[in-house]
Amino acid sequence: MSIHHHRKPLSILLEEANAEGSGTLARRLGAGSLVALGIGAIIGAGLFSLTGVVAAEHAGPAVTLSFIISAIGCGLAGLCYAEFASMIPIAGSAYTYSFATMGRLWAWIIGWDLVLEYAVGAAMVSISWSQYLNKLLMMHGMHIPTAFMAGPFEGGVINLPAVFIVAMMSLLLARGTQQSAVVNNLIVILKVAVVLVFIALGWSYINPENLVPYIPENTGKFGHFGWSGVLQGAGIIFFAYIGFDAVSTAAQEAKNPKRNMPIGILGSLAICTVLYVLFGHVMTGLAHYTEFGGAHDKLAPVATAIAHTPYVWLQQAIILAILAGFSSVILVMLLGQSRVFYSMSHDGLLPKVFSDVHPKYRTPFKSNMLFMVFVGLFAAFVPGKVVGEMTSIGTLLAFILVSFGVIIMRRTMPDAPRAFRTPLVPLVPILGIVVCGVMMLALPWDTWLRLIVWLIIGIVVYFRYGVKHSKF
């Protein structure tokens, strides 16, 4: 029996969407709300942290070109996501789409991959959170000892602030505190304001000499400046765009998914790309790209850049806004992760513990606690740059599989109703696969090694447990 026969029927998916009575998720989100949701999930640690790493080690001022290449890959994948989101307008992400279209094994691979993406993503953001917290304390004459600010690979013992924020957000999720739309929107406004203020105030203090040469010469090693650096930078900075797929998880709550899902996905992507390019330009214009490479400064480049303007007083306000913004991103990533495992467990592919719901709080609390430990260990001991690269490779793989899914689905289910159709199939999905594939190939080989090890563990779990217990 081929794996294609183990598909989850569309009819069952749509039934599940309405399981708890027809009106569980009200279709209230217009295009504007979806764009805001996307921007809220996209602007985070990638922008405020990895921009500095990529400028210092890979692309120099051409970090702006890395952002543009990443955006093209995201845009092509985004068009494929939009078709899925409008066709299967239920809460869920690439895992659910794959189960309906490509079968159980591919769904498992994407689900397992997404869990890595969300787990290491949350860890990456928490590591950056701890760096910015320390910056804030230093402004008030205090600091956290290095031993408790970094893992053993970076000359410390354990990153305690990172563990703390992961634990706090996990407990919040387990309690089921609904991070209401109002709070989320406030944080979005705060984050976008920080970016706009930084661009507006920093623009007139750009030192043109910092931007020459725009693409520093390659050092003779692939990925260290030159065009290979811009490409490798694009693969790493791809992390900064993760989040637009969060829009696709809200398909069930969109007023008019046919029109609004593509606007939400592609609109948030377009706005963030423009902000990112301007942000990267101002940042490398204020401070020379070599200044972002210091060991403790690596993940807090905004503070380094602002020091070159008279607005040093702004640093505290901006850092507070970044800390609030990071907290919401960690929350969304931990939420997404527990949702994917909840769906996989619900389908029988993982033990029931992952879909056990708390009798009072109605949350998958056991899953939240397990992930608190798993993500906490990453945050405590693994260097931030490694974690960021792992997240990027996981997301790129998910985007490639979603693009493949659209091609497969057009062949196997040509007559299924599609509210939004990806244009120029198979050209757009193939271009998406190629652009994301090139960015994956440009990532360091050790990042590939970690991905392969993670997927091998996943395949073992799938054949030892998933196949025997699957409901489909």
Q: Are 214 and 46 in contact (CB under 8 A)?
A: no
Top-ranked range on mean pLDDT: pick from 3-12, 16-25, 182-191, 459-468: 459-468
Find out whether 242 and 391 touch, Cβ atoms under 8 Å: yes
Percent of the chain with pLDDT over 70: 90
Which of 83-97, 119-133, 394-408 has the least mean pLDDT?
83-97
| Cβ(49)–Cβ(279) below 8 Å | no
Q: Is the confidence at residue 3, as pLDDT, over 60?
A: no
For residues 306 and 319, give the distance between their C-alpha atoms in angstroms, rounded to a whole number. Answer: 11
Residue 15 pLDDT more than 80? no
Q: Quick one: average pLDDT of 307-323?
A: 84
Tokens matching residue 396? 């790129």
| CB neighbourhood size of 32 (10 A) | 12
State the Cα–Cα distance between residues 285 and 383, nearest whole angstrom: 27
Of 18-22, 207-211, 301-305, where does the model show the most confidence? 207-211
pLDDT of 154 > 90? The answer is no
The rounded percent of the chain whose pLDDT value lies above 90 is 27
381, two tokens: 């001991």
pTM: 0.80
Q: Pick the residue with more confidence: 179 or 80?
A: 80
Q: Which domains are assigned to the chain? A: 26-469 (1.20.1740.10)
Q: For position 24, what pLDDT does the model report?
A: 44
Is residue 72 within 8 Å of residue 277, measured between CB atoms?
A: no
- pLDDT, residue 213, reads 93
**In this structure, what token pair is assigned to residue 113?**
């991959």
Alpha carbon distance 126, 436 (integer Å): 26
pLDDT tens digits, residue range 381-435? 988 778 877 888 888 888 898 898 899 888 888 887 787 888 998 999 999 999 9
